[in-house]
Structure 1
Amino acid sequence: MYSIKQVVEMLDIPSVTLRAWENRYQAVVPERTESGYRLYNQENIEDLRWLKEQTDKQGISISHAVRMLKKHKQKDLDERLSAAGGDPKDAMDKMKQQIYAALLEIQGERADALIDFGFSLYGYEAMVHQVLVPVLVKVGEAWEQGTATVAQEHYMTHMISSRLSQFLHVFPVYAHLPKVLAFCPAGEHHQIGLLLFSLFLRRNGVEVIYLGANTPEEGVMDMLVKQDRIGAVCLSVTNEDLVDYTEDLLGRLGSLYPEMQLIVGGRAYESSRSQDTRATYRMTEPPEQWQAWFDQEFTGIRPKNEQAH
């Protein structure tokens, strides 16, 4: 892994150019440390070297070069899958089965290796939505049907959640967008839906302050006082018994921060009894519709310190 300083020295690309290529065009997506520092792998280096050659020697714009690179990588992936004797869907189905079996048998290292390979092969979007999310669904079904124990379900869910959580620190943040405070209220221990929605926001450049499951109300209020630029609060609830408490909490948040946008979602809010909510947005649409909502609604939300009081 290489720091941004090392990449600048290796490739003779100014750091400001690197950041612009990443933020504007998603040329590469480096990993990040817990402190937020970029870390580039060898594939990132090769991609950046190729992009520099196209822009410097061939006179191609960076936006066009990035499109060319992504098209080339997709073609290469299709060829590798074809050479392996199957189409992409068959290969993904096989990977889902292998990851699920490894987790069910508590083979953490094998599951991690398979997940790493999947990300290198398919990339973030396909691996998350076409492999890991279906695995999580299968885990839940196995627990409900009694083919997986509570301990197995907890282990499998934790393993995948941990891998997904890493991406909360990877994607670039756009300063003009408001921050989002995301949590499950006290008593709610299922956070997968919240995590996926938070990752979606983060993928779109939103800085998400992710508090996770079973968050006490006082911790939420304290965070809202201490943090600037929070424009929205996002809650996820699967337990219908918590809807009344959640609505009371939304009412308190709305009174304290009348300009704050309140977003709720989760299985509990898909039922008819929770149609009427104090939230600004009730997110019950499937993930493929989130982008349309984001482009139409979220980009108009103002940060807390820019809102009228």
Structure 2
Amino acid sequence: MYPVKAAAELTGLTPETLRAWERRHAAVAPQRAANGRRLYDAATIERLTRLHRLTARGHPIRDLAALDDAALDALLERSRQTGFGGLDCLPARMLDAIADYQVDEFDRELSVAIATLPVAVLVSRVVMPLLREVGLRWADGRLAIAQERLVSSLLRARLLSVINQHPRERRPRVLFATLPGEPHELGLLGAALYAHDAGAPVLYLGTELPAEELVRVTTRLGAGAVALSSIDPGSAPQALAQLRVLDADLPPGVPVWVGGVNARYMAEALGSARVQAVTDPDALSRRLKRMDAVAARRGAG
């Protein structure tokens, strides 16, 4: 349960706006403490975040207040599709350029997308479809190994430039890495980019870092979370062994977030409250907010 000030920080709204949306529009119904202070639970925080995003796009709060969360989500999705409807052909067009080794054209399209699109749209509508199309074309022989590696290197360079452009030194940081045996990192880069855009202080450590090294860096920096990616089924047993080391040796209270196709299997196999499967941006966003709230409470204490 969060008081007004913490709820305002988590949603990006002011305390005055929170009170106005409650009193004038009944958009939310916070609970009350024994002393009468407003308290907001996690579900209400999520609803306020949706309302904030929609009002920022021009929807009046009076029209949104009576809608349930499913209706708000549908409205957000329609708004996103309408605003960026021309993106569906972009990944295929970029790969057509790579097929002809037109590197400048691919890089120009990618640079424009990075410069003009919100990060959530960039990742969901450009980066992830591009990776899927790379896999399909490589499997059926339309893309050579050299072309696939060219796409990976260009994406990596551009996405890292965004993450490193404005480093945030405040703590707690979120460390992004893969464990030994997992060389694939583009999905991890997308998640790091999303976290960076959400305001989290990101430290991107790259691929194939041993658990012992991650423990050392986490302890030295006082990091707030460790985010990992695992997509190679063959690396899952090795990654699981490394996760056991992290679970045993990381400082108390530091969660491990695992993404990628192996995430659910490894989280269930380990059975630890510390290790959580995080398989979509909304789940990552919720955990980032929770991490900030914990840090805020510790700072206040």
- Fold conserved between structures, TM > 0.5: yes
| Secondary structure in structure 1 of the residue aligned to 2:269 | coil
RMSD of the TM alignment (CA)?
3.3
2:197: which partner in 1? 203
Whole-angstrom CA distance in 2 between matches of 1:193 and 1:276: 22
In the alignment, does 2:284 pair up with 1:290? yes
Q: For residue 144 of structure 1, report the CA deviation from its aligned partner.
A: 2.5
Q: Which residue identity lines up with residue 206 of structure 1 in the other structure? A: A
Contact 2:176 2:206 (C-alpha < 8 Å) held by counterparts: yes
Q: Which runs of 5+ in 1 are unaligned?
A: 1-23, 26-66, 72-86
Contact 1:171 1:205 (C-alpha < 8 Å) held by counterparts: no
| Secondary structure in structure 2 of the residue aligned to 1:285 | coil
2:78: which partner in 1? none
TM-score when normalising by structure 2: 0.62
Q: Which residue identity lines up with residue 141 of structure 1 in the other structure? A: L
Contact 1:237 1:265 (C-alpha < 8 Å) held by counterparts: yes
Whole-angstrom CA distance in 2 between matches of 1:97 and 1:241: 29
In the alignment, does 2:243 pair up with 1:243? no
Whole-angstrom CA distance in 2 between matches of 1:137 and 1:197: 16
1:108: which partner in 2? 103
TM-score when normalising by structure 1: 0.61
Which string of whole-angstrom CA distances, capped at 9 and with x for unpartnered residues, describes residues 2-57 of structure 1?
Answer: xxxxxxxxxxxxxxxxxxxxxx89xxxxxxxxxxxxxxxxxxxxxxxxxxxxxxxx
In the alignment, does 2:149 pair up with 1:154? yes
| Secondary structure in structure 2 of the residue aligned to 1:181 | strand
Contact 1:262 1:279 (C-alpha < 8 Å) held by counterparts: no
Alignment of 1:290-309 (within 5 A): 290-295=284-289, 297-302=290-295
| Secondary structure in structure 1 of the residue aligned to 2:178 | strand
Whole-angstrom CA distance in 2 between matches of 1:120 and 1:235: 26
Whole-angstrom CA distance in 2 between matches of 1:88 and 1:289: 24
Q: Which residue identity lines up with residue 229 of structure 1 in the other structure? A: G
Contact 2:211 2:243 (C-alpha < 8 Å) held by counterparts: no
Q: Which runs of 5+ in 2 are unaligned?
A: 1-11, 14-53, 59-81
| Secondary structure in structure 1 of the residue aligned to 2:151 | helix
Aligned pairs, number: 222
2:88: which partner in 1? 93
Change (3 A) 1:284 1:234: closer
Aligned-pair identity (%): 22
Alignment of 1:172-191 (within 5 A): 173=168, 175=170, 177-191=171-185
Contact 1:102 1:110 (C-alpha < 8 Å) held by counterparts: yes
Contact 1:182 1:209 (C-alpha < 8 Å) held by counterparts: yes
